Structure 1
Amino acid sequence: MNRLPRIAPLLALLALAGCSRSEEKPPEIVRPVLSVVIEPKTVETFGFAGSVEPQYSADLAFRLLGRVVSRDVKVGDLVTKGTTIAALDPTALELAVQASKADLSNAQAQFANAAASEERQRALLASANTSQSVFDAAQQARQAAAAGVERANAALAKSQEQLGYARLFSDFDGVVTAVGAEVGQTVSPGQTIVTVARTDPREAVVDIPDQLTGD
């Protein structure tokens, strides 16, 4: 009869011990602290002179030897693609075109006569009123005249092309940045007449000492 009162306090102690264990918190994780040491440092600044220049430019020149009779632009002028920049004296070139046209007309007349002669000899040969050799000669004359027309056409095209080279045009929109020839001056093929630069894009050109660039 006296055992029950003795066991009851023991059970109470065990229950309290279990509760205390369940209420214990896990240990906190201590994270390492990262630190950076900041030291003062002298910052140097430099200033350099420079210029903003066009990234693309072109030297425009004639393909022919000749005397400049006009220059329609000066430094600072804005030009568009196809604008006439300058012109050479076209007199000799125009005479060459006229001569080529006359040569072509003469060649065409010779071809017409040779072709008509060939047709006559063909008809005579068919009626046995001429020989094969005479017909062959007429045929060869017609072929030679045709070749003459081709050469005259090529010569005319060449002279017209040369006349076109007497005028200088801008290949793109831009601004005139330099002039290399004046009116009345005789220029050689490839000699710069003007320099034209695109207005965009541009680039900064600055001279920096080698000791600062590491070169």
Structure 2
Amino acid sequence: MTESDGPFGENTRPSGVERVAQVQLSTEYGVFRAVGYLDCIRGDEQVALVYGDIQGDRALTRVHSECLTGDAFGSRHCECGDQLSAALRAIVSEGRGVLIYLQGHEGRGIGLLAKLRAMQLQAEGLDTVEANLALGLPVDARDYRVAADMLHDLGVRSVRLLSNNPRKREALVRHGIKIAEQVPLLIPPREENLAYLQAKADRLDHHLPHLNGMAERS
């Protein structure tokens, strides 16, 4: 464990991450600073996309779990890819903010192959919670400690969290991140993911008010 401080500002909180590299990254959304980290505890490689001056309070922040099928392939089974794009656009529009992209979070932490097996069970009629349990896996195995360490290292004192997930908020608070506001990130549902999103609302407590009544109408 090390104590980190550097060009993003001093931070005396013990940290489990090592800042390895930072580089300007030009994207279709805008020009970010990509800050690469090594998780010294798990050995994972992680990245933060920083836009503008985020030190201090109320930085617009998205902590995004890796989703190969949604983020890279544009799967319509989930809303992950759309949320990633919407979050990056919102951060640029805000003029300052950060997106933490968390590897090791595939399928709410169960891994890519297990996620594909769970998707197969969902196609057979189980919901996303039932599918994980049928495989003998946790409903949600994600840990947000590394995200908190990265935010502390970046000099972020409090965040406006782009998320519909109250459990994510609670986990970040447990790891010392102050949440000034939880900002909804609502994506219009598709026919292919409506049941999946409804299960997240009903069984995982995600705040998805835009789904109200849609299942009955579909």
TM-score by length of 2: 0.22
Asked which structure has the greater CA Rg, the reply is: 1
Question: Which structure is higher in strand share?
Answer: 2
Higher relative contact order (CA 8 A, sep 6+): 1
TM-score by length of 1: 0.22
Question: Which structure is higher in helix share?
Answer: 1
